[in-house]
Structure 1
């Protein structure tokens, strides 16, 4: 495909945009793509787990969070998207899990739901042919890079390790089974990609540049089950506004005794 600039494109399906709206069609197509490579399976369905901020930063950087919320809410209200937060381990975590109701799209000549059985990435790609009347696979990332960096179909692990490498100036590999196991362990505890990045930001700020401590900017330290919770609490404490110290009491000797 010849592009104006070298950048992975988003797809817009004209028939789907006429059916649900332009923004909503783009969200549906991208959710379909993410569902194909998702390994988050609950109740026999593939789900995509993202905060609104992650939708913006990772998928639609040209939209505001409010625009994304409105598009998703319309799709939820019309039944195209099914969402829930009931799968979160922590009740305070309101991040949603999303999937497409393919029964509605199927009535319109759309794609079937992605299979939840174990398949290779190439096999998953083949179930989404680009034919008229079908929802094609959105080419939003370079396929070669995804196939190379994909860790058991978990792009969240890749996102976290890439962020650590960028912040700590390291070269850890997301393909390492030990590294992936640590990060996935925190996901299974109910923590999010955003939580992992907060921990990385906090400890990079504390340790980077210190000859002794900077060596601990590594997955085995940051994502250790005990360390991670403590580091995350440190990051949350840093988000609190600084308290204003009380004004010191000053005696006024210009006045006489009462």
Structure 2
């Protein structure tokens, strides 16, 4: 397709039907670069809002670009699950035309993580489009990861499991100022896709960033939710209810 087109196709994979929408060409260069790129971002955002999983394609020869960060931000804000896909990996791990040394996977992933800090929950996979056409391993790894992430975003934790989990969390380690601390009376998962938790607290205070981050990390450690953002909603209980 052209820069402004999105290719929509349903594929059969491992007994499942997957709808794949390709918004390729977002970073196309040329005289009409600005207008075409703006339109492409609008189209990509529209498709993102209808998707379960976003495959954020990073060109290994370029690294994370401003457009990559923009699309990644849209995916995060709209509650989509994300898999970060580093494409053309074969071109930077062998002798390079630009004279630079071959890339190291661990170092490259660290660079991606620094550029996309808000997507720290997203798995990073390395693929090579050229070799994928020959043996299909890259495509299999990509689809398997996308399916796993799609399943994670629909995972549900019972209220009993969540409250037993809370009993073992030391919130003193969250590093939150006393004036910003809240006591969680109980917590329940209200929705999936993305996983959304309602916290019933002792007072009506917006969660401090450090507290929310700490709680999210503890939830991920206990229950997973790989590739999916986690949303929180806070409801303060009245004094009578909090007793």
TM-score range, shorter chain: under 0.3
Q: TM-score, normalised by structure 1?
A: 0.23
- Select the structure that is richer in helix: 1
